[in-house]
Structure 1
């Protein structure tokens, strides 16, 4: 174990030449250096963040949701069926051929099989209230930590002159404001590591969408698009990456981990370009349609369109009279599925 730890924390890889971890562990009196141990010290705080989150969602987010008339709702449950349940475990959205096969096997109408899978998928989806509370928690944290960061970063000289980030690197004093900021951020993301399997990722504009305030949703999306462009495609590449690539090379020179870390930053910039392309597509749709379309980066929250397409495809295969009759019956099927209140 010691040999593995020594290999992973190799000074020749992580640190510039002639720098050791021991030097960073013993700063001058009254000063504090960033240390790798700070990463682990945030783990216990992550559980505290989770506890604060639970209290926030119950005592703040849910009352706000009730004021906005956002209810949890009770989703209808699909009737117990062992055969369909086994199929559902392998595929939650069977194709038209599978639907037809199940219809014949169980002597059910095709639309009844489709309805069963639609209801079964709905059972696993979180309610609008749950999604609202999670989004409000993230919005509150990000807003608070942003304000805190601006408070301390605004007066830091290296915010305006990035070359100062590399003078005497890595022997740089860690101020209490910086320490509190990074500890809070690390604890928050450690908490997300623990809750990622149950969380539903949502954006801040989703809050307005859940509350049925479309104009706020549209305005929030426009603000988000502008901020994303300025921060991710202007400030990040021409300020941050430039400093890390060019200024650090000039002042301290490259070392082994320098290549790895800069490579990861460039990968992130590539993702920024891809994400902005998706955002631009949504913005273009919004200009022509008058409202924000579905975010292509998010998961699909409704399967109605998918099921409508499946209905039409099945009718095309089931009726020999051609697409005209299929289209008519497909339209009738849409009305039936949307308005159906009872199983056959």
Structure 2
């Protein structure tokens, strides 16, 4: 094990020429980041998650109810044993062949069966109240940590002169403010890594999962190698847009239309400016070029920059979705009457919408159709429709 650790922490891979791990050991005069300190993030992540549960129940939920946020979930599908068996045992997205078979068996038209499956899928989605509580928690944390980061960064010399990120390296002492900022951010992202599997599932789940992994790796690597000056700028810059986004979501859930519109437009501007302009010209510039000039060439530097570039690719993807959402609304001529967060749901929705908000009672082909609707008498004839089939998206 000692040999494996020695191979993994090879100084010539992780550190610049003429720098060793001994240079980053604590001394009586100064403290430097230590790898073992990162273990603090795990118990703290658990504490943050428990704080979240308490916050959502005793603070966010009362606030939501006071703001008259809808507590009920999506409309429930009409009970039907045959469709329920298909839904739970085979597919949640039946293809055209299966829909036609079910239509003949139940004597429902295909549109009614599609609506039933849509309602049944939405039935498993969280209520608006749940979504509001999640957004309020994230808004509160992002606002707190962003405010802390701004107060901390405005005192440091490397904010406006990024070359200071590498001046005097590796002898850049770790201050208590930086240590607290880093560990809390890392703990929060660890809590998101685990809670995302029980949180509201959205269409960009894989993108968010990638984002969290890359962020956690960046925080760990930059802390261990004492690249925390550039790291603090990156963290603070990313928190800014998240504050506005969660605020826009809350306004949307409260049905404050004008405020929601304003916050979404603000979020779009902040996101694009911070992620597509400030980030590459401020953060990437110093890690790609100024770091190379100051410290020379070594493998870990390219690992750092590859992950930072992956983040930039994710920024471009999200920016495309944001601009696409805004364009859809403008193209439809609904300027001034639109809900941009609803449009964003086309790409990042957690509840499927239906253009036909008809009544939940299905339209039947014959008056006898209700015989097979709630009973099990037709179950024996379902074998032909309970075989495997392809799963197709409706939207």
Q: Could you say which TM-score interval applies, normalised by the shorter chain?
A: 0.7 to 0.9
TM-score by length of 2: 0.73
Quote how far apart the aligned CAs of 1:125 are: 0.5
Judge which range, 26-35 or 246-255, deviates more. 26-35
> Hey, what does 2:50 align to over in structure 1?
51
* Deviation readout 1:53-109 (Å, 9 max, x if unpaired): 011101111011111111321552552526643454443121222211122245555
CA contact (8 A) 2:71 2:127 kept: yes
- Give the gaps of 5 or more residues in structure 2: 203-244, 364-369, 371-395
Correspondences of 1:129-278 after superposition (within 5 Å): 129-200=129-200, 203-204=245-246, 205-278=248-321
Is 1:340 the equivalent of 2:385? no
Residue 29 of structure 1 aligns to a residue in which SS? Answer: coil
Deviation at 1:30, TM superposition (A): 4.1
Distance 1:15 1:121, change over 3 A: same
CA deviation map 1:134-175 (0-9, x unaligned): 011001100110000011110101111111111232331111
Q: Is the 8 A contact 2:23 2:170 kept in 1?
A: no
Cα distance between partner residues in 2 of 1:66 and 1:83? 35
The verdict on how the C-alpha distance between 1:98 and 1:193 changes in structure 2, with shifts beyond 3 A counting, is: same
**Secondary structure at 1:289 match in 2:** coil
Deviation at 1:4, TM superposition (A): 3.6
Corresponding position of 2:232: none
Q: Kindly report structure 1 stretches of 4+ aligned residues shifted beyond 6 Å.
A: none
* Structure 1 residues 3 and 83, CA gap change in structure 2 (3 angstroms): farther
Larger relative contact order (Cα-Cα within 8 Å, sequence gap ≥ 6)? 2
Is the CA contact (8 Å cut-off) linking 2:87 and 2:117 kept in structure 1? no
Cα deviation, residue 116, structure 1: 3.2
Q: Return the offset for 1:266.
A: 1.8
2:223 maps to which residue? none
- Deviation, structure 1 residue 261: 1.2
Tell me the distance in 2 between the aligned counterparts of 1:80 and 1:182: 52
Paired residues of 2:284 and 2:308 also in contact (CA < 8 A):
yes
> How much is the aligned-residue C-alpha RMSD, in angstroms?
2.3
Q: What is the DSSP-based 3-state SS (H/G/I as helix, E as strand, rest coil) of the residue aligned with 2:158?
A: helix
Q: Which residue number in structure 2 is paired with residue 6 of structure 1?
A: 6
Q: In structure 1, how many angstroms separate the alpha carbons of the residues matched to 2:123 and 2:278?
A: 43
- How has the CA–CA distance of structure 1 residues 126 and 94 changed in structure 2, closer, same or farther, with 3 Å as cutoff? same
Moved more, 163-172 or 281-290: 281-290
Change (3 A) 1:199 1:99: same
3-state SS of paired residue (1:304): coil
Work out whether residues 208 and 214 of structure 1, in 8 Å CA contact, stay in contact via their aligned partners in 2: yes
2:37 is aligned with 1:38 = yes
Residue of structure 2 equivalent to 1:126 = 126
- Report if aligned partners of 2:252, 2:260 keep a CA contact under 8 Å in 1: yes
Q: 1:78 to 1:257 in 2, by over 3 A?
A: farther
Structure 1 residues 259 and 89, CA gap change in structure 2 (3 angstroms): farther
Q: Give the secondary structure class of the aligned counterpart of 2:70.
A: coil
Tell me the alpha carbon deviations over residues 183-238 of structure 1, each in whole angstroms, 9 at most, x when there is no partner.
11111111111211011268411111111111111100111111112211221111
SS of equivalent to 1:339 = coil
User: Aligned-pair distance for 1:35?
Assistant: 2.3
**Conservation of the 8 A alpha-carbon contact between 1:13 and 1:257:** yes
